[in-house]
Structure 1
Amino acid sequence: MDLLLTEAQQAFRAEVRAFLAAELTPALREGQQRSAGVYPEPEISGAWQRTLHCKGWVAPTWPVEHGGTGWNAIERFIFECECALAGAPIVYPIGIRLAGPVILAYGTAEQKATWLPRILSGEDYWCQGFSEPGAGSDLASLATRAVREGDDYIVNGSKIWTTHAHHANRMFALVRTADTPKRQDGISFLVLDLDTPGIEVRPIRSIGGDHDVNQVFFTDVRVPAAHRIGAEGQGWEQAKYLLEFERGTGLFSSRLRSSMKRLEDATAASRPFADPHLARRLAEVAIEIDTFEMLELMTLGTLAPGANPGPVSSVLKLRASRLKQTVSALGVEALGAEALRWEGHADPLADVLVPDHLNARAATIFGGASEIQLGIIAKSIGGL
């Protein structure tokens, strides 16, 4: 991959910068900057998604015929970088980056026509029903059951750590439709409307004080069989496909740079990086992000729009999670004794650094724990 921008790519960067200057409001920028949760709240992310949708830029990883941009790897990198550095909100990814690719790969023509346009526009807000109280890293042990009854499935069970389920109107979920010798073979992929009778969403407050995640309970929930994506028993294959998109199609390096910028802005008044130790740590982390950026570019350069990143996604997810924790820990270190204060700092932006650090402890768990990623890397890439 040639990293020197051509004249056309420089013109594209100028177009992106002009668009951001015209459309990215101070309120949206502040909403992202003050977010300590995994994703900003829907009033922030949704407003930005609608703006991008109007421009036709909301789904860079989708094929053009389904609403994608047709950008090559460098153009997508330019766009993601400029958005992050400008402080644009993160577009809530569960519909765009997770549900969308599975529907594109496994959905019927009717499912694509029904759900894809609403994902792009943000009319549907999705959540992911994978983990259960007894099935986290060992996802194949999930027990939420769907029993076929005529044209419907009757679903009973629960899901946990369900991000933004309290905002969502739609969920994709793995459910057990058969008891088979190999547990993975009895799992199917269903789409549920969250206003269906029998669904209850209970909040879980995180250590950072946020309400990002929930436990969702299903009691005799009737789901049309037409809402099953793919064949019955194909859910494990679809889940692996989806998780590779979750772990490997985001450009994390640009957001890590944005987090570093927030850290520097929040602690500027106290000049903590006049301390040689902290200055050295800042430089070390910046170099690590540079290195990770090159890894992302190498991966991105091999992918056509809509293509699956494969097992290398585990390498990206593992490294991004650890870097996220490193950056957030550096923020608390830079605050020094001020980190003992939960809120009320001289710069309100500093109030975000401690919750961000606490919430980042989960980064090496959600989306597949680090131990799981190491196992995938050893098996799929290392051949062990």
Structure 2
Amino acid sequence: MDFGFTAGDEAFRAEARAWLVAHADGTHDRRTWERTLGKAGWIGIGWARDGYGNRTATLTQQVAWAEEYASSGAPARSGHIGENLLAPTLLAHGTDEQKARFLPPIAAGEELWCQGYSEPDAGSDLAGVRTAAEREGTEYRVTGQKIWTSLAHEADWCFVLARTEAGSHRHHGLSFLLVPMDQPGRIEVRPIRQLTGTSEFNEVFFDGARARAEHVVGGEGGGWKVAMSLLGFERGVSTLAQQIGFAQELGQVVRAAVATGAVADPVVRERLVRQWAELRVMRWNALRTLGRSGDAGAPSVAKLLWGGWHQRLGELAMLVRGAEATVGPRHWSAAEPYELDALQHLFLFSRADTIYGGSDQVQRTIIAERVLGLPREPKGVV
């Protein structure tokens, strides 16, 4: 199987690399950086054929851009939820009016998005959401709580999976609403402090927040189909860019093993080689499945592969560091309890890799039932 890129792809890659070298100097705040990307035409590079994006790019060129971005050390994206999740969902399920209203500001880097899916009692079991949206004339009144909402503190909009049919159960009666975040008194965002000491995630409370009726994607009651479609896009081109970051982290772990002498242990060497080989397999699998439709198990296989791999890498990072891994570079203080180095952050953050984005148990169930055709698990069995 040929996993190479064409000469045109490599020319596109060279253009992307040159632009990133010239502009990704780390002097921009996150929102200004999104506008810089948009002005240069680097957001939504795959949408041009639909009339909403920036420059035209093939699927393999989108991969080249994502890989170059990940390799460049450019700032972390705050617009990726809108670009990589909402935008392809609107292209697949949105009305012409919804596309015209929301895609251009995403492509320009002007409007940032967050995802309102998980709730305290509905994480991996997304069909259990309780957030309700009641129709009141030309608007919906949204009430409920979402949790683990990445970048909600920066977002202008949130796409919310809510129950629009009172008394409905499971995946019935759900709708996909586009909700503006600038509603003081109706929306409250509370940061969640993590093991790493950072707060990428948030709780979001909706207390009668308003969403316009024309901003329901896929029609009232069609939310489950739209939500599942969006989760499929989550495993797209960005997976390959993610693997560039993984390769960089693996390089850090290898260098740490050399520095501490842990590499002399044949068991450690075997684990390092295994991590490298598995990362190559993940890349080949991602390239093989990229652009294929109708493969119900591919997203779940990809999540199982990288979640476990990344978690094992974090554990290996601590192993090769030895006792030093338990000591922070800064003494404890009330203002800043601790500061982690890169490998310590890797270990602590990766503990959640097999849970968020769909737990391993859920992914295995999807593969078993939808791909292998095994009997469904009896309801009520613990």
User: TM-score normalized by structure 2?
Assistant: 0.86
Query: What corresponds to 1:216 in structure 2?
Result: 204
Query: What corresponds to 2:128 in structure 1?
Result: 141
Query: What corresponds to 2:379 in structure 1?
Result: none
Distance in 2 of aligned mates of 1:68 and 1:311: 31
Among all aligned residue pairs of Structure 1 and Structure 2, give the percentage whose two residues are the same amino acid: 40
CA shift, 1:264, in A, is 4.5
Distance in 1 of aligned mates of 2:249 and 2:33: 19
CA shift, 1:194, in A, is 1.2
**Residue type at the aligned position of 2:351:** R
1:226 is aligned, of 214, 217, 220, to 214
Query: What corresponds to 1:299 in structure 2?
Result: 289
Distance in 1 of aligned mates of 2:339 and 2:252: 8
How do 1:52-131 and structure 2 match up within 5 A? 52-62=37-47, 64=49, 65-67=51-53, 69-92=55-78, 93-131=80-118
Q: What is the Cα-based RMSD across aligned positions, in Å?
A: 2.7
| Unmatched 5+ stretches in structure 2 | 332-337, 375-382
Partner SS, residue 352 of structure 2: helix
CA shift, 1:210, in A, is 1.1
Query: What corresponds to 2:303 in structure 1?
Result: 317
Query: What corresponds to 2:344 in structure 1?
Result: 354
Contact 1:267 1:350 in 2 (8 A): no
CA shift, 1:149, in A, is 1.2
Q: Give the stretch that moved more between structures: 288-297 or 317-326.
A: 317-326
Contact 1:171 1:192 in 2 (8 A): yes
| Unmatched 5+ stretches in structure 1 | 29-41
Q: Number of matched residues? A: 363
Contact 1:118 1:124 in 2 (8 A): yes
Q: Give the stretch that moved more between structures: 282-291 or 120-129.
A: 120-129
Which has the bigger relative contact order, CA under 8 A and spacing at least 6? 1
> Which structure has greater helix proportion?
1
Distance 1:218 1:80, change over 3 A: closer
Distance in 2 of aligned mates of 1:20 and 1:318: 32
Distance 1:16 1:248, change over 3 A: closer
Distance in 2 of aligned mates of 1:151 and 1:7: 52
Distance 1:203 1:351, change over 3 A: same
Distance in 1 of aligned mates of 2:138 and 2:330: 56
Q: Give the stretch that moved more between structures: 59-68 or 196-205.
A: 59-68
Query: What corresponds to 1:10 in structure 2?
Result: 10
Distance in 1 of aligned mates of 2:137 and 2:9: 55
**Residue type at the aligned position of 1:256:** F
Query: What corresponds to 2:226 in structure 1?
Result: 238
Distance 1:138 1:10, change over 3 A: closer
CA shift, 1:87, in A, is 2.6
Distance in 2 of aligned mates of 1:89 and 1:126: 17
Distance in 2 of aligned mates of 1:51 and 1:2: 35
Distance in 2 of aligned mates of 1:241 and 1:337: 45
Partner SS, residue 66 of structure 1: coil
Distance 1:73 1:109, change over 3 A: closer
CA shift, 1:272, in A, is 4.2
Describe the superposition over 1:17-72 as per-residue Cα deviations: whole angstroms up to 9, x where unpaired.
322322222x37xxxxxxxxxxxxx934x454334323322224435322165433
How do 1:141-180 and structure 2 match up within 5 A? 141-179=128-166
**Residue type at the aligned position of 1:21:** V
User: TM-score normalized by structure 1?
Assistant: 0.85
Moved over 6 A (4+): none
2:35 is aligned, of 40, 47, 50, to 50
How do 1:181-196 and structure 2 match up within 5 A? 182-196=169-183
